Amino acid sequence: MAVLESEVLKGFVRLCDDGWQQGWHERNGGNLTYRMTDAEVEECKPDFKYDKPWVNMGVKAENLAGEYFMATGTGKYFRNMSLDPEANICIVEINAEGDSYRIVWGLKNGGGPTSEFPSHYLNHSVKAAQTNGASRVIYHAHPVNIIALTFVLPLNHETFSKILWQSMTECPIVYPNGVGVVEWMIPGGAEIALRTSELMKRFDIVVWAHHGMFVTGNDFDLAFGLMHTVEKSAEIYIRMLSTGLPMLQTIPEDKLAECAAAYGCKLDESLLK
C-alpha cells in the first residue's frame, strides 16, 4: 500500500481530477508524468516489482538514466484516475542507458505508459538539465480554447505569445518566456517528441496545433496553474472575438515587459515583433 498512501500519488491524482473537471480530458485525452524524488522512490519501493521486460522508447536521454517516473497509462481516462489509481497509473524505471523503461508498479490490468511518453521523456530531459533538477512535472491536455485558436491564428510563437500575453494582465508575469507552437503533426512517437523538446529549451509551454498543449513545472500546482492560465487567456480572447464587436483597446504592447518586470520577471521581448 506504500504507493497508494503516498503524498506523491495523491498530488498526481488530484491534478488528474482537476484537469478532468476543467473539461480538458475527453475520453483518454491528455497525459501526465512526474519524475520522482529519491525520497519518494524509497517510500514507494516496498511495492515495486522488477519482473517486467524493458521497453525501448525510440528516444534517449542519458541524464535521466536510473530515474523513476509516475505516468498515466495509455488509453486510460483522467476521470477514472482517482477511482482506481493502480489500474490507470504506473511507475516506470529508466535503464542505465536512458533509452528504455520497465513498469515496476501499477497498471494492474495490463497496458503501458502514455503513448506520448517519448515526448514527456525528452521534455523532462531538457527541463531537468535546464533547472538543475528542479523541474519534475510534464502535463499534456486538450483544452478547448487554445485548440480553437490554432485554427484562426498563424502558427508561430510570436503571434500566440503576444495575443495571450495581452488577453489577461497577469500572463506576462506567469509565462514571461511565451508560448511555443508546433504545426500539426502525428501524435505519439519520436518525431513529435524531438520537435517539442527542441522548443522546450526556450519555452515552458508548447501548443500542438489542432491537438492540445504541453506544459512543464517544478510541482503539480505550478504545472496545473500554467495550463489553467494559458487556457484562460485563450478563452478570454475567443470570447472577445465572439462578441463580434471591434476591439477598442487592449493591454499596450510596450507595457508588457514593464508589467513582467514589476514582478521580477523578464519578458522575452524578441517575441514582440
Q: Which residues are catalytic?
A: 116
Phi, psi torsion values for 183, nearest 5 degrees: -60, 170
Cell of 105: 508498479
Q: With respect to ligand 13P, which residue has the nearer C-beta, 50 or 151? A: 151
The interface partner of residue 28, options being Zn ion, ligand 13P, none and the CB cut-off 5 to 8 Å by kind, is: ligand 13P
CB of 31 to Zn ion, least distance (A): 7
CB of 241 to ligand 13P, least distance (A): 26
Give the residue from 203, 188, 71, 38 showing the smallest Cα distance to 126: 203
Cell of 213: 498543449
Give the residue from 264, 119, 128, 140 showing the smallest Cα distance to 199: 119
The interface partner of residue 58, options being ligand 13P, Zn ion, none and the CB cut-off 5 to 8 Å by kind, is: none
Contacting residues for 168 by C-beta, under 8 A, at least 6 apart: 229, 232, 233, 236
Phi, psi torsion values for 54, nearest 5 degrees: -70, 140
Counting residues that bind Zn ion (by CB under 5 A) gives 1
Q: With respect to ligand 13P, which residue has the nearer C-beta, 187 or 225? A: 187
Q: With respect to ligand 13P, which residue has the nearer C-beta, 72 or 216? A: 72
CB of 19 to ligand 13P, least distance (A): 11
The interface partner of residue 33, options being Zn ion, ligand 13P, none and the CB cut-off 5 to 8 Å by kind, is: none
Q: With respect to Zn ion, which residue has the nearer C-beta, 113 or 212? A: 212
The interface partner of residue 159, options being ligand 13P, Zn ion, none and the CB cut-off 5 to 8 Å by kind, is: none
Q: With respect to ligand 13P, which residue has the nearer C-beta, 75 or 252? A: 75
The separation between CA 102 and the C-alpha centre of its own chain, rounded to angstroms, equals: 22
CB of 265 to ligand 13P, least distance (A): 30
Q: Which long-range contacts (CB under 8 A, 24 or more apart) does 170-175 make?
A: 170/229, 171/229, 171/230, 171/233, 172/256, 172/257, 172/259, 172/260, 172/265, 172/267, 173/259, 173/260, 173/262, 173/263, 173/265, 174/225, 174/226, 174/229, 175/204, 175/205, 175/226, 175/229, 175/230
Which residues in this chain contact ligand 13P in the complex, by CB under 6 A?
A: 28-31, 72, 74-75, 114-116, 140, 187
Give the residue from 66, 68, 58 showing the smallest Cα distance to 33: 68
CB of 120 to ligand 13P, least distance (A): 9
The interface partner of residue 150, options being Zn ion, ligand 13P, none and the CB cut-off 5 to 8 Å by kind, is: none
Q: Which residue's beta carbon is nearest to the bound Zn ion?
A: 212
Build a one-symbol-per-residue string for 185-214: x at contacts with Zn ion by CB under 5 A, - elsewhere.
---------------------------x--
